[in-house]
Every structure is written in C-alpha cells, then in structure tokens.
Amino acid sequence: MAEAQQKPGIEAVENTAVPEVATAAPQKDDLGIEPAPARDAAASAPHRRDAAAELLRKIGDAGQGERVIVSPADNKRILRKIDLVILPIILVVYFLQALDKATLSYASVFGLITDTGLVGTQYSWLGSIVYLAQLVAQPAVAWLLVTVPVGKFISTAVLLWGVVLATMAAAHNFGGLLAARFFLGLFEACVAPCFIAVTQMWWRRREQTVRVSYWYAMNGITNMFGSLITYGLGHINSPVLHSYQIIFMFFGVITVAFSFVMFAFMPDSPVEAKFLKDEDKVMAVERLRMNQMGVLSREWRWDHVREALRDVKTWLWTALIFSISIPSGGISTFGPLIVKSFGFDSFDTILFNIPFGFVQLVATVGGAFLATYIRKKGPVLCLLCLPPIAGCVVLMVVPHDTGHRAALLVGYYLISVYPGITPIIYAWSAQNTAGDTKRKCTTAIFTIGQCVGNVVGPQLYQTTEAPLYRRGLRSNLALYVVLIVLSLLTMAYLRYLNQSHAARRVAAGKSATIVDISLFSAADADRMMQEMAAQGEMGENGAPTGDRAFENLTDLENDEFVFVY
C-alpha cells in the first residue's frame, strides 16, 4: 500500500481485510430481518450513506483508502472540545424548557387558579395540554430531524416557545391559558428528540448515558434555582401585573434571548461543526465508528420506519417511558400543591421544593454514572424504582397534619428519585437503535408514549382530593412495580437479540463473541483493540471491524451491533 499522506494530529493505519466467505442467497433471520448485502465501497448505493461515511471517504481517497484512527490523547482532546461547546448549549436549553414548563406549577402557588377563575379539572388540563400538543407534533418532528439541519431546527423552536411563554401573561381565563399552553407544547415537542439525536451523533456509547443525565438533570436544577428565582419574583409588588404574569414574562424573555445564542453557536453535526478543524472533524466521526450507529444521512427511509414499527424494542421503550411518565406528569404539575397540603404557605412551599430538585439531580447523574460503570441499564432502572415506591407508601399512610410534616417531606423527597429513571430509558433506547431514520422514528414513537403518560398523570390528581391525593399515589405506586417488571423483560429480550446476532456472525464465518469496546473508556478500548488485533485478524477473536458502521444500517441489519442490556 502506498504511504499515507497524514494530516497533523491524525495517524493512519491500513484497513484490516476481512476474509470473504461464500454465502447462499440472503435469507431472513428469525427476527424477520434480511441481512444487509455486502457492498463495494466504490459502488453506487441505492440509498444515501451516512454523512460521516462521505467525509471519511474523501479523506480515504486522499490517503489512498487508509482508515484514520484516533489515539486516546486525541480522543480526550476532541471530547473536551465537544463538551465545552455542545454540552453547555443543550444544558441551558433544557434548563429553560424545564423552567418554562414548571412556570405553571409555580404560578399555581401565586394565585393563578383563583385569579383566572379555574374550576374543576381545568388546572389539570393546563398540565396535560402541553403533552397533547407534543404528541400531535411527533411524526413531523421525526421527519424534520432526519431531513433538516438539527441546530437550526431546535434554535427556531426555542425562539418560538419563548415568545409564547412571554405572551402567556396576557391570558386571563382558561381558554387563553389553554391555547398558550398548547402552542408552548407544540414548540417544545422537539427538545427531547433533538437532544437524543444530538447525543447520538456527538458522543460514544460509553459517554452518552452520562451526557443524557446531564441535560435531563436540568429538571433538578430547575426545581432548585427556578424555585429561588420564583421566590424572588413572587415578592415583586406591581400595581399592574400579578406575580404569575411577571414569572411568565421573565422566563419567556430569557428564552427568546438565548435562542439567538443558539443560532450562532449550535452546529448541525460533527461534519459541519465550525469549531472543529477539518482533521478534528474526521476524528470526531471516526471515534464514533464502534457505536455502529452512524451520525446522520438527511434521507428519509421508509424501510427504517417499517422496521421501527415492528421492532419489539420500540414498544418496550414506549411501555417503559409511558409507565414513568404518568407519575412524572402528576408530580411535576401537582408537586408544589402536595407540599402546600402539608400545611405550608406559598413561599415556604417554593423553598421546600428546592431539596426535591437536589435529590432529583443526585439520582439522575448518580444513576447514569452507575449505569456507565457497570455497563448495564436494566439493573440501575430497577434500583431507581425502589425509593419512589417507599415514598408513595409514606405519603399514603402518614397523617397529613402539621405534626407529621417532617415524615411527609421525607416521603416526598423519596419520590423525587423518579426523574433519574427517564434519562436511563432515553439512553437505553438510544444505545440500542441504529439507522438514521429508525433512530428518529423510534424516538418519536416512545415520545408519543411519554406524552400520553404525561397527559394521563395530572388527571389522576384532582384539586378536590387534596390533601391526600390517594388515587394518584396508588396508581404511581403500581406503575413503579410495572417498571421493574418491564425492565426485566427488556433485559431478557436484548440478551436474546445478542444471541441471534452471534448466530448470524457464526453463519458468516465470524466470531460469535464481539466485545463492545464503545462501552469502555478510550484508553481501555485502544488497549483492547491492540490486544485483539495482535491475536488475529479484525472481525475474529471478538474484535469488531466497524467496516459498515457508517452505511446507515439498522441495529437488526448490522450483525456487529451489540445490544446493551
């Protein structure tokens, strides 16, 4: 092979050839998936390849077909750049989104219900309508995430929901509030799907769980600092505006202002990132190879849609997220009212919500670190269900009077562990789904399940049931048990899929066992790859080649894909 023409900071090595194996005509496996046929890299494919493949092909052409490898030092340097540019943006946006949704519960403490004449289930519907709007928007969000630049898409959405929140101060009755909350939900519908897509396209699988927990933990930061900010805003005496109107306008204007920051600095993908040099762009996508998930294609694939719909995993994620979203929707809307029912006034209620946010933050990030350490999601999810079960029991059996405030607060704070469950489900789905369109469709489907759960959740709590809220607490308790059962079923199914892929690899003349190095640190992964390469050719002895990682294959098509359970 001709000598490589290396760019600074890039080390080139020869692609390891995989011995060709004579095979019969492709047949569908026991999952109903036909193995993707081998393609000559120079041949024209019927579908657009991943954008990362095109970038690497150009570099490969210049270097005469050699693969770029990323040293642990370069990986650390690139990761630091990504964390310093991408992560702060999504952290702030998710904080604002969580804050904007929480303004309703804050406003309820400062007289929104009485001043706007809300009666019966009207307040509950203000909590639910946001998620109905998000549900309606999900098919369009999935299509847009595949076909339009992600950075510009989410920046536009941030601008629009900020405008809606600021103008919500003008709503003086149920109809006006309902309309404003609907459009707020419509424009916020893309936030979680966008950030799951962003996490998949920028970070290795080992890094994804913790990054998802970071931006989801903004819910906890919101409960802490949002409560403090609201406490301060609630003390403003205005002859013109109610306290809740000041809250709406303040957070709305901040959101609009940050949307312009996002327009300026949020890139659409690693391939198009202005903060990375050309050689760094190559390493940014090359370090994702062993994810076996690709980056982006900007091509809508109906075969991916069909596979997402018939994939059992899709519906397991949907069932999991639905089961946690019912308690989440209820507590997020009625949490401050539950605390107020312990006998606290409005300002004390806001202050006692701060520890809720702290526990939520610790549970979210701590659960993610534990899942990363043990390289499994299911056991951690089951573990996180136990404190909320205990918390529900405490709130159901302890008398609601001033003499038992301490015990009631402990029960409430035990329940606050539940937000750590959702990012585990996000990461679990993200790390087990490949193929650009399939990833976005899977996210859309389980987000619909999440929206339905968030719609149902507030309906299980009624202001007329204060202070006990027995129906809501009973249903939440049952759902935490259901979550444990679903987690065990999901783990079993993912193990079955790994066994199925192992059988396909054996039939193709490869090793049955593949070590998923994407779940290890860069240094450990580099050492393991060197050791496996020294023992035999890549593709054998448990070493994945990653040759087809950027061909926009789905997780069920790519026999080197290893499922994380």
Residue 505 predicted with pLDDT over 70: yes
Among 125-139, 267-281, 462-476, the least confident range: 462-476
The pLDDT tens digits of the residues spanning 72-116 come to 889 999 999 999 999 999 999 999 888 877 777 778 777 888 888
Select from 554, 411, 433 the least CA-distant residue to 477.
411
**This prediction's pTM:** 0.83
Q: How many C-alpha atoms does 393 have within 13 Å on its Cβ side?
A: 8
**Cα(412)–Cα(391) distance, integer angstroms:** 6
pLDDT greater at residue 134 or residue 341: 134
Please say if the pLDDT value at position 463 is more than 50: yes
Size of the chain in residues: 565
Residue 2: the pLDDT is: 38
Question: What is the model's pLDDT at position 27?
Answer: 47
The highest-level CATH class for domain 73-272+280-287+302-495 is mainly alpha
For position 77, what pLDDT does the model report?
A: 94
For residues 74, 207, 500, 543, the Cα torsion angle rounded to the nearest 10 degrees is 20
Most confident of 13-22, 24-33, 421-430, 511-520: 421-430
Residue 5 has pLDDT above 50, yes or no: no
CA distance 366 to 360: 10
Q: pLDDT band for 1, please (50, 70, 90 cuts).
A: very low
Residue 29 has pLDDT above 50, yes or no: no
Q: How far is residue 80's CA from residue 150's CA, in Å, rounded to a whole number?
A: 21
Tens digits of per-residue pLDDT, 193-241?
A: 999 999 999 999 999 999 999 999 998 888 777 777 877 887 788 888 8
Mean pLDDT across the stretch 341-360? 80
Q: What is the pLDDT of residue 543?
A: 57
- The answer to whether 295 and 198 have CB atoms below 8 angstroms apart is no
Which residue would you say has higher pLDDT here, 329 or 449? 449
Per-residue DSSP letters for 260-317? Answer: HHHHHH--S-GGG-TTS-HHHHHHHHHTTGGGTS-S------HHHHHHHHH-HHHHHH
Provide the 3-class DSSP secondary structure of residue 125: helix
Q: 354: pLDDT confidence band, cut at 50, 70 and 90? A: confident
* Token pair in block for residue 561: 């894909």
What's the rounded mean pLDDT across residues 464-486? 89
Q: Would you say residue 167 has pLDDT above 60?
A: yes
Region at 153 (left for phi over 0; alpha for psi -120 to 50; beta for the rest): alpha
241 burial type by CB count under 10 A (0-12 exposed, 13-18 middle, 19+ buried): middle
